[in-house]
Amino acid sequence: MMMVGGPQDEISLGSTPPRLSKSKYLSGLQCQKRLYLEIHHPALATPPDASTRAILDMGTEVGEWARRRFDGGRLVQAGYRQTEAALTQTAALMTDHTVPAIFEAAIQADGVLIRVDVLERLSNGQPDQSTWRLVEVKSSTKVKDVHLDDLSLQRHVLLQAGIQVAACALMRINTGYVYAGGIVDLEQLFAIDDVSSLVEERQSKVNEKLAIMKSMLAGPTIPVVEPDDHCLVPYECPFWKHCTKDKPARWIFHLPGSKKLATDLVAQGIETIDEIPPQTRLTIVQRKVKDNLEWVSKDLSAQLRTVAFPVHHLDFETFNPAIPRYPRTRPYQSIPIQWSNHIEQVDGALVHHEFLHVEMNDPRRPLAEGLLKSLGEEGSICVYSPYEKSVIEQLAEALPELRVELRRLIKRIWDLHPIVKDHYYHPEFGGSFSLKEVLPAVVPSLRYDDLAIRAGGQAAAEYYRMVFVEMDWVERATIRESLLRYCERDTLAMVELRRALKEKSGHL
Ligand code: SF4
């Protein structure tokens, strides 16, 4: 992170120092400007998109499941905006020795207010000297540095508040668990890692870091920080759009691939892709972005002709619930729930088939049976990533009775993605060969912005809502329709992309 001294926008400050929280502290570790903007100018942040909201919702659901692992635990009912009530309720629960664990415990000390996911009572002392285990719940599958920073701050606040912390743990999803059906085995679903010593190692730095953040927040100016690769780690900063709004269209950080190269080039005083010195080692894709020209390989036409008619254009949508829903599945296992198939005959005639599972039971068998019928025995199966192949392989693994037929499909798969990547480039790709970038550049008439669902993550979240949450049949019908139109667009996009590329290759 490059931090530059000197004033930027002057701001006026109130007399009360702003209170920090777990998330604010982590923001401050990532970037001082981020913390400053979150406290003083939150409206400048880009709101989370539908896919990000879905991830946050999944985290909430995992948190609720995690509480079931602590028999007799009690939830602090006061919400995040009811600080005084939350502090009072927590204090009452802590002095009640019959309460073995407190969920969402509110503790405030040293100018920081935290809500602890689980504060588990390990022993009762006299009169109020219980010892506690601090448990942070994450929907993650492994321990990350950011979790340890989070726990070190919480431990700091608890110690400052005079609470005896005997251990620190991270409770996370165990992807090795295979759900057998019936009641979910919470002992297996969650792994609890004791990270006490790792948290203690970081403890000594918390004081110092908090002091720096508080003094920065008390200052009259926004810290001047240049956006670079630090803005994406550990989380993409919501102020990215704000901080980069005045950057040139061909700004060096728009170069795809490793952000380290862009950081090195910035250190040499290079601001745009066009200024990259000719001797710089670039990948093939980076070179195409630098050249910024439409390019058609002489082999494109021959590559496109390797397809066999009738051409099936196939796309799956999947969802991957943290809490497994179907027997013999694991947490986060991708479960196909939908497919679309546009079939193009040699004369150009187009037929569309589609499938969407709307029941609460396992979709895989009916989905696979319908798929086999739709794909028949003939023609290429055009896809736009290796993902469809892996879904079919997983279906074959899960459904022994259909295994032979499903595996036969794999031999017919014809992937358009590497053909585009190796034989065509358009400046509007910006170095990305994802269908969402390629389509508007090659087939401008066909876009995604008229659809209610526009991304895979959003589709997965909406599917979950339609099947497991939503009770209103009108709302369910609306989601169903949106899902069908989204998947249909993906396969129609492949049809039109193949046609447009054929046209371009014909002009050589
Ligand atoms: S975009 Fe980067 S520089 Fe701007 S606030 Fe976020 S992390 Fe800091």
DSSP sequence for 28-60: HHH-HHHHHHHHH-GGGSPPP-HHHHHHHHHHH
E-assigned strand segments in 140-285 = 164-173, 190-194, 224-226
Query: Is the minimum distance from the CB of 240 to ligand 1 under 6 angstroms?
Result: yes
Closest ligand 1 atom, residue 32 Cα: 8
Query: Is the minimum distance from the CB of 227 to ligand 1 under 6 angstroms?
Result: yes
Q: What is the mean pLDDT of residues 196-215?
A: 94
Best residue among 8, 33, 226 to mutate for probing ligand 1's pocket (most ligand atoms within 8 Å of CB) is 33
Shortest CA distance to 54 belongs to which of 378, 457, 490, 470? 457
Q: Whole-model pTM? A: 0.87
Shortest CA distance to 23 belongs to which of 226, 237, 217? 237
CA distance 339 to 367: 8
Evaluate if residue 7 carries a pLDDT over 70: no
Q: Which amino acid is at 101?
A: A
Instruction: Report all structural domains of the chain as residue ranges with CATH numbers, in order of start.
Output: 12-218 (3.90.320), 225-290 (no CATH), 300-506 (3.30.420)
Q: Give the tens place of pLDDT for each residue, 246-288.
A: 999 999 999 998 888 898 899 999 999 999 999 999 999 999 9
Question: Which protein residue's CA is at the shortest distance from atom 4 of ligand 1?
Answer: 243
Q: What is the mean pLDDT of residues 55-64?
A: 90
Q: What is the mean pLDDT of residues 476-497?
A: 96
Tokens of 140: 């993650």
Query: Is the minimum distance from the CB of 37 to ligand 1 under 6 angstroms?
Result: yes
Question: Which protein residue's CA is at the shortest distance from atom 5 of ligand 1?
Answer: 34
Q: What would you report as the CA-atom Rg of the chain, rounded to the nearest whole angstrom?
A: 27
Query: Is the minimum distance from the CB of 36 to ligand 1 under 6 angstroms?
Result: no
Evaluate if residue 240 carries a pLDDT over 80: yes
Q: Give the tens place of pLDDT for each residue, 337-363.
A: 999 999 999 999 999 999 999 999 999
d(CA 370, ligand 1 centre) in Å: 48
CA distances from 66 to 23, 462, 464 (A): 20, 23, 20
Q: 341 in helix, strand or coil? A: strand
Per-residue confidence band for 15, with pLDDT thresholds at 50, 70 and 90: low
Best residue among 240, 241, 244 to mutate for probing ligand 1's pocket (most ligand atoms within 8 Å of CB) is 240
User: Do strands 295-296 and 224-226 pair parallel, antiparallel, or not at all (unpaired)?
Assistant: unpaired
Percentage with pLDDT > 90 across the chain: 83
| Tokens 């994450």 found at | 138
Residue 310 preceded by cis peptide, ω within 30: yes
Q: What is the mean pLDDT of residues 437-449?
A: 91
Per-residue confidence band for 18, with pLDDT thresholds at 50, 70 and 90: confident
Highest mean pLDDT among 33-37, 56-60, 253-257 belongs to 33-37
d(CA 245, ligand 1 centre) in Å: 12
CA distance 498 to 417: 11
Provide the 10 A C-beta neighbour count for residue 176: 10
**283 Cβ contact list (under 8 Å, min separation 6):** 257
Per-residue confidence band for 171, with pLDDT thresholds at 50, 70 and 90: very high
pLDDT confidence of residue 328? 95
pLDDT confidence of residue 498? 96
Query: Is the minimum distance from the CB of 237 to ligand 1 under 6 angstroms?
Result: yes
Q: Note whether 332 and 175 are within 8 A (CB).
A: yes
The beta-carbon contacts of 119-128 under 8 Å, at least 24 apart in sequence, are 119/94, 120/70, 120/73, 121/97, 122/166, 122/167, 123/166, 124/97, 125/164, 128/94, 128/95
pLDDT confidence of residue 143? 93
CA distances from 410 to 332, 414, 415, 434 (A): 24, 9, 11, 22
Query: Is the minimum distance from the CB of 54 to ligand 1 under 6 angstroms?
Result: no
> Any idea what DSSP says for residue 465?
I
Evaluate if residue 2 carries a pLDDT over 70: no
pLDDT confidence of residue 3? 40
- Report phi then psi at 23, rounded to 5: -70, -35
Query: Is the minimum distance from the CB of 364 to ligand 1 under 6 angstroms?
Result: no
Query: Is the minimum distance from the CB of 222 to ligand 1 under 6 angstroms?
Result: no
Query: Is the minimum distance from the CB of 487 to ligand 1 under 6 angstroms?
Result: no
Best residue among 216, 217, 243 to mutate for probing ligand 1's pocket (most ligand atoms within 8 Å of CB) is 243
pLDDT confidence of residue 222? 92
CA distance 464 to 320: 9
Shortest CA distance to 255 belongs to which of 227, 296, 283? 283
Q: What is the mean pLDDT of residues 457-466?
A: 93
Question: Which residues are paired to 119 by β-bridges?
Answer: 102, 134
Average pLDDT, whole number, for the chain? 92
Sheet architecture: strand order including 350-356: 350-356, 335-344, 311-319, 381-383, 413-415
**Weakest-pLDDT range from 107-111, 264-268, 322-326:** 264-268
Question: Which protein residue's CA is at the shortest distance from atom 7 of ligand 1?
Answer: 231
Q: What is the mean pLDDT of residues 91-95?
A: 95
